[in-house]
Amino acid sequence: MFTRNGFSFTGLDRVQREMGRVFTNVFDNLERAPERTLPAINMWETDDALLAEAEVPGLTMEQIEVFVMNDELTLKGRRSAPQTENGTFHRRERRAGEFTRVVTLPAPVNADAVEATLRDGVLTIKLPKAAEARARRIEVKGV
Amino acid sequence: MNTETNAVSCMKQTAQPTAALYAWTYRPDVDIVEMADEWQLSADVPGASAGDLDVNYERGVLTIHARVSDRQAADTRFVSREYGVGDYFRRFEIGEGFDAAGVRAELATGVLTLHLPKAARAKPRKIAVQAR
């Protein structure tokens, strides 16, 4: 979409790019759409780091992958469908299947220092900001 | 932007805050499976811990209530907020056909699994038909 040179990415463009990517993942396999789950992500920042959190109940560490490249965070996982050989489902609301979610980060991060923890179905990712992105207090001198 | 928010917000169904619980309350997704001797109910309750979980089966009504406190401080600088954190609550009218003393609950990886054994009289019983 944005292939012209010299096109600067403002905040709005970044949102549109991310939207495009989300839709690509969801609508790629429309026939299998009911299988796809898309975890919601909350993101907040401190002066030193970006933090992201996603609720991924039923997933173990082996079923999740987290990638960081340039200014993108990718969450990839697979939730297996519940196995019940001799049972009858009376209600089935919990979604199972693969998901891939790509989020654009609002600040550059130090990809080598990213940490991710999974506890009680909540995935928390800490992305320390790159040195140039940390807020620096500028001293105001009176003249 | 609106469509994306809808796509992810339907994952977590909210209920209006009630007077008794003055906070956002969420309705967890469940799977209900009937086996030969018991029913299994699995509910997605990420962020809940066993100590804050109440499961109650009384007079035919099964109630699940998990108290979940905010994981971030109120002054957190959010960049993007797609879901909220709050208590989980769901209630089912399942009747009296279950052995209340034998109900077992397990919590692992944010999923609550309940085993509700059928009461003896609720198990299928073959009835012999006599010809006259």
pLDDT in tens, B1-41: 444 444 444 445 555 444 444 567 899 999 999 998 999 99
Mutate to test the interface with A, among B39, B109, B111, B112 (most CBs of A within 10 A): B109
CA B131 to chain A, closest CA, distance in angstroms equals: 33
Token couple for A1: 């979409």
* ipTM at complex level: 0.74
Using an 8 Å CB-CB cutoff, list residues of chain A that contact chain B.
15, 19, 22-23, 26, 37-46, 50, 53, 55-60, 82, 84, 86-95, 103, 106, 120-122
Query: Residues A35-59: what's their mean pLDDT?
Result: 88
The residue among A106 and A8 whose pLDDT is bigger is A106
Instruction: Answer whether B35 sits within 8 Å of A40, measured CB to CB.
Output: no
pLDDT, residue A12, reads 63
Give the model confidence (pLDDT) of B83-119 as tens digits: 999 999 999 999 888 988 899 999 999 999 999 999 8
Give dist(CA B72, CA B76) in Å, integer.
7
Task: Quote the pTM value.
Answer: 0.72
pLDDT digits (tens, 9 = 90+) for A74-94: 999 999 888 777 889 999 999
B7 close contact with A: CB closer than 8 A = yes
How far, in Å, CA of B5 to CA of B7, rounded? 5
Q: What's the pLDDT at B62?
A: 94
What one-letter code names the amino acid at A41? I
Which residue of A19, A42, A90 is in closest CB contact with B4?
Answer: A19
Q: Which residues lie across from A75 on neighbouring strands?
A: A66, A101
pLDDT: which is higher, A80 or B123: A80
Residue pair B104/B116 in contact by the 8 Å Cβ criterion: no
Q: Which of A15, A55, A123, A124 to mutate to test the interface with B (most CBs of B within 10 A)?
A: A55
pLDDT, greater one: A35 or B121: B121
Percent pLDDT > 90 in chain B is: 55
**Residue A44 buriedness (CB in 10 A; 0-12 / 13-18 / 19+):** middle
Distance from CA of B4 to the nearest CA of A (A): 7
| pLDDT value, residue A31 | 40
Q: What is the pLDDT of residue A37?
A: 55
Question: Among B77, B104, B40, B69, which Cα is nearest to A122's?
Answer: B69
A10's tokens:
């403002």
* Nearest Cα residue to B42 out of A55, A92, A107, A53: A92
Q: What is the pLDDT of residue A13?
A: 62
**Residues of chain A with C-beta less than 8 angstroms from the C-beta of B111:** 57-58, 121
- A5-9, B19-23, B74-78, B105-109: range with highest mean pLDDT: B105-109
High-pLDDT (> 90) share of chain A, %: 50
Least confident of A14-23, B5-14, B36-45, B122-131: B5-14
pLDDT at B20: 45
Distance from CA of B117 to the nearest CA of A (A): 13
Chain A residues with CB under 8 Å of B92 CB are none
Which residues on adjacent β-strands are paired with residue A125? A52, A116
Q: How high is the mean pLDDT of chain A?
A: 80
